């Protein structure tokens, strides 16, 4: 067995014991010196080990704490009780909406008709009435009540109460006088009201709302149906994301789910969602990119309207970008009155969001950072997907309905499992 002195020597990198050993005082001094060095090394190793263990313990403790909070929130979401959100009585909603009169009807979506109402105190409300013919149902109703009651952000619409009495299922929201973004954006007589400053702040507001859903709320939420008609505008044209009927909470760190079913709105759905039913926060990022490009171009992406020779708006945007003709893509309603620097940055970010590969799409925190910083270098976007033109699908699934403004617009679909997508 090696002597302690030999160990010291080895530790200090001294040659093997075959070399002649020093003798006398010299040997003792050398021995002391090397044992001090060895001690120093051991102390440093010990400090590093303690530091790593401490760091690991703190990380585990924080991870457990965060998950416990998330789990307890998820637990509290399960039972739908009146303590979560005010339960409103049917009679007062009837009175507020003048018995759901035609004059008070604001529009109709996949859930059912929406009515404006005024409560006895004078506050205005918007009431969504689940229709018997609705393609959405009790599950979406419950989802909306349970989910949105737990989320609060200035860029999310506020649910004030709900009612499930007799055969009625009603959701009561704050009333947003300027209604939805699509009513301005795609209406030739109204689009001029959306000047560049307004459009830019709408883009930033939607990005902030989505970032809150994905990363900043305690629950990680994927909206799954972000589109222009699901962005409502308040009296100062500030945007609020609405319609959480199809939203999903992610438990733990799960980032991708394969549902085997397709929900959402054609034209806004990410390719991996349409083709495989796989969704993640990155499918919302894709929808955000489509919406951003629609806000710049003032047109719908509306893949369903396309003829053989036509391109989607996203493909148009890509073409303009690569040919350095971005100005030609911009909504003519803007004229020349817009900041080119801001607009090109938005254009660039929009194209990054609609990239085919979800991995390449930025997260919403990066999106917001890219949008607000004026000196950040952005990566070059890859070509967007080329297969958004739908060939056929059963008439019952056609996601269109006539709206009160007598325009046709795409509506959400739910539980469509057969999707025929034609590659280009």
Ligand X SMILES: Nc1ncnc2c1ncn2[C@@H]1O[C@H](COP(=O)(O)OP(=O)(O)OP(=O)(O)O)[C@@H](O)[C@H]1O
With CB under 6 A as the contact rule, the residue among 149, 160, 211, 232 that binds ligand X is 232
Residues 336-375 that bind ligand X (CB under 6 A): none
Quick check: 302 binds ligand X (CB under 6 A)? no
Residue 106 CB, nearest approach to ligand X (Å): 4
Distance separating alpha carbons of residues 141 and 129, to the nearest angstrom: 10
Quick check: 157 binds ligand X (CB under 6 A)? yes
In sequence order, what are the beta bridge partners of 188? none
Query: What is the total count of residues that contact ligand X (CB under 6 A)?
Result: 23
Residues 90-119 that bind ligand X (CB under 6 A): 106-111, 114
Distance separating alpha carbons of residues 177 and 35, to the nearest angstrom: 81
Distinct helix (H) and strand (E) counts, the chain: 12, 17
**Residue from 343, 349, 310 nearest 329 by CA:** 343
Residue 133 CB, nearest approach to ligand X (Å): 13
With CB under 6 A as the contact rule, the residue among 180, 280, 320, 355 that binds ligand X is 180
Which span (77-85, 161-169, 228-236, 343-351) binds ligand X, by CB under 6 A? 228-236
Q: Which residues, other chains included, contact 207 with Cβ-Cβ below 8 Å and sequence gap of 6+? A: 288, 364, 367, 368, 371
Nearer to ligand X, 108 or 331 (CB): 108
Residues 405-424 that bind ligand X (CB under 6 A): 411-412
Residue 356 has phi, psi (to 5 degrees) of -60, -45
Distance separating alpha carbons of residues 117 and 105, to the nearest angstrom: 9
Quick check: 239 binds ligand X (CB under 6 A)? no
Distance separating alpha carbons of residues 155 and 231, to the nearest angstrom: 9
With CB under 6 A as the contact rule, the residue among 144, 146, 243, 294 that binds ligand X is 243
Q: Is the Cβ–Cβ distance between 172 and 161 less than 8 Å?
A: yes
Residue 265 CB, nearest approach to ligand X (Å): 6
Q: Which residues, other chains included, contact 1 with Cβ-Cβ below 8 Å and sequence gap of 6+? A: none
Nearer to ligand X, 34 or 265 (CB): 265
Residue 176 CB, nearest approach to ligand X (Å): 4
Nearer to ligand X, 149 or 351 (CB): 149
With CB under 6 A as the contact rule, the residue among 230, 315, 355, 388 that binds ligand X is 230
Placement of tokens 């679909």 in the chain: 413
3-state class of 61 per DSSP? helix
Which span (175-183, 215-223, 281-289, 324-332) binds ligand X, by CB under 6 A? 175-183
**Residue from 36, 35, 1, 29 nearest 17 by CA:** 1
Q: Is the Cβ–Cβ distance between 355 and 381 less than 8 Å?
A: yes
Quick check: 247 binds ligand X (CB under 6 A)? no
Distance separating alpha carbons of residues 222 and 173, to the nearest angstrom: 21
Residue 327 has phi, psi (to 5 degrees) of -60, -35
Residue 290 CB, nearest approach to ligand X (Å): 15
Quick check: 173 binds ligand X (CB under 6 A)? yes
Residue 109 CB, nearest approach to ligand X (Å): 2
Quick check: 229 binds ligand X (CB under 6 A)? yes
Placement of tokens 């305690």 in the chain: 218
Specify whether 225 is catalytic.
yes
Q: Would you name the residues annotated as active-site residues?
A: 225
Positions touching ligand X (CB under 6 A) are 106-111, 114, 126, 128, 157, 173, 175-176, 179-180, 225, 229-230, 232, 242-243, 411-412
């Amino acid at each position: 067995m090696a002597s302690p002195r030999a160990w010291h020597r080895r530790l200090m990198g001294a040659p093997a014991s075959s070399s002649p050993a020093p003798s006398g005082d010299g040997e003792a001094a050398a021995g002391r010196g090397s044992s001090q060095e060895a001690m120093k090394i051991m102390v440093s190793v010990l400090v590093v080990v303690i530091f790593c263990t401490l760091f690991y313990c703190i990380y585990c403790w924080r991870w457990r704490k965060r998950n416990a909070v998330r789990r307890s929130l998820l637990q509290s979401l399960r039972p739908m009780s009146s303590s979560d959100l005010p339960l409103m009585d049917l009679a007062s909603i009837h009175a507020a909406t003048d018995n759901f009169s035609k004059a008070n009807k604001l529009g109709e979506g996949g859930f059912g008709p929406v009515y404006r109402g005024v409560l006895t105190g004078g506050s205005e409300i918007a009431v969504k009435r689940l229709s018997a013919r609705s393609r959405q149902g009790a599950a979406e109703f419950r989802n909306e009540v349970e989910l949105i009651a737990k989320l609060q952000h200035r860029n999310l619409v506020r649910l004030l109460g709900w009612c499930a009495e007799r055969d009625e299922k009603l959701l009561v929201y704050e009333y947003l006088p300027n209604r939805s973004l699509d009513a301005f954006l795609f209406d030739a007589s109204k689009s001029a009201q959306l000047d560049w400053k307004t459009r830019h702040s709408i883009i930033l507001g939607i990005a902030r709302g989505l970032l809150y859903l994905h990363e900043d709320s305690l629950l990680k939420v994927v909206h799954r149906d972000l589109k222009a008609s699901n962005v409502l505008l308040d009296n100062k044209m500030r945007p609020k994301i609405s319609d959480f009927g199809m939203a999903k909470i992610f438990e733990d760190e799960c980032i991708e789910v394969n549902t085997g079913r397709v929900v959402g709105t054609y034209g806004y759905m990410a390719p991996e969602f349409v083709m495989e039913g796989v969704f993640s926060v990155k499918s919302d990022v894709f929808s955000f990119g489509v919406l951003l490009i629609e806000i710049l171009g003032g047109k719908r992406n509306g893949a369903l309207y396309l003829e053989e020779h036509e391109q989607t708006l996203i493909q148009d945007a890509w073409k303009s970008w690569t040919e350095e003709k971005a100005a030609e893509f911009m909504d003519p309603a803007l004229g020349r009155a817009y900041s080119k620097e801001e607009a090109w940055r938005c254009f660039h970010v929009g194209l990054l969001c609609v990239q085919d590969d979800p991995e390449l799409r930025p997260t919403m925190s990066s999106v917001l950072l890219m949008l607000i910083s004026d000196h950040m270098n952005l990566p070059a976007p890859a070509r967007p997907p080329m297969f958004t033109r739908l060939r056929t699908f059963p008439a019952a699934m056609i996601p269109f309905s006539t709206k009160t403004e007598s325009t046709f617009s795409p509506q959400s679909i739910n539980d469509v499992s057969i999707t025929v997508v034609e590659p280009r």
